[in-house]
Amino acid sequence: MLNGNIDFYYFSGTGNTHLVVKKMEETFLKEGVTTHVYKIDKSDPKDVNLDHVIGLGFPIAELSTYDFVWKFIKSLPTANGTKIFMVDTLGGFSGGIVGPLREIVKKKGYQPIGAQEIIMPPNIFYIQDENTNKEKVEKGLKKAEEYAYDILDGKSRWGRVPLISDAIYYTSIAALRLTHSDLNQKYFHLAVNKKKCNKCGQCVELCPINNIKMEEGKYPVNLRDCAYCLRCTSFCPKKAISAPFNYKSKTYRAVKAKELLKT
């Protein structure tokens, strides 16, 4: 049985990872393991308690994960055997996260004890129908619960496929840099439809990298350093923010905005 407290740091774009992390937290607590959940975009890696087991949860983006999530992970303090596990949510394929992340945390002195990738409904390109999404969420949460028990029982594993995963990781890093390039930000701009926007400012609160600002009495402005987590698009109550790469401008969200905005 896993001993000690668990501090679970996570980011969620549409709410998929939020649901998975909450299911795992529920399982840990049910088995008597003190668990605290923190948001990556609201946390300082310097404050991580190395006497606790560390959990990391995030969605897949560009075959690995978002720049700001990588920044948090790579800024974790040096450890001396602190146990760590990860879980990610994805719509299809990653390849550039499990192995490379394992090597990064090992070099920092952590003991990797588990990695799990969980298929959940995608929020980019083609959005599937409601019943299909519901089934995927149910299967995903069941897998999350099983994974939590494996961690507690010492059955979880964190493997690595050398060379292939490293190559995909570097491809992902290059793609992430392209994502933040001026050219990409210009032509794949998340624009606000002023006829639909009610100036509620929710998108400003939801943006994990403070890329959206709103001056008093005006419409939200994208500062063109977008990570494309699609929180603003998925949760806009008026569907006023469009993503240029979503089919027929359809969006997906797994929870209500207030769930992600809870402190």
Tokens (6 digits) for 244: 């240029």
Amino acid (1-letter code) at residue 238 = K
This model's pTM is above 0.75: yes
How confident is the model at residue 263, as a pLDDT?
Answer: 64
- Which helix (H) or strand (E) is 227 found in, with range? none
Handedness of CA 58, 225, 44, 76 (dihedral sign): positive
Amino acid (1-letter code) at residue 166 = D
Tokens (6 digits) for 74: 């790579």
From first to last of the 263 residues of the chain, give the pLDDT tens digit: 787 899 999 999 999 999 999 999 999 999 999 999 999 999 999 999 999 999 999 999 999 999 999 999 999 999 999 999 999 999 988 999 999 999 999 999 999 999 999 999 998 888 889 999 999 999 999 999 999 999 999 999 999 888 899 999 999 999 999 999 998 888 888 888 999 999 999 999 999 999 999 877 788 888 788 999 999 999 999 999 988 777 777 889 999 999 998 86
How confident is the model at residue 243, as a pLDDT?
Answer: 81
Domains in the chain with CATH codes? 6-170 (3.40.50.360), 188-261 (3.30.70.20)
Q: Which of 176, 179, 188 is nearest to 63 (CA)?
A: 176
DSSP 8-state secondary structure symbol assigned to residue 85: E
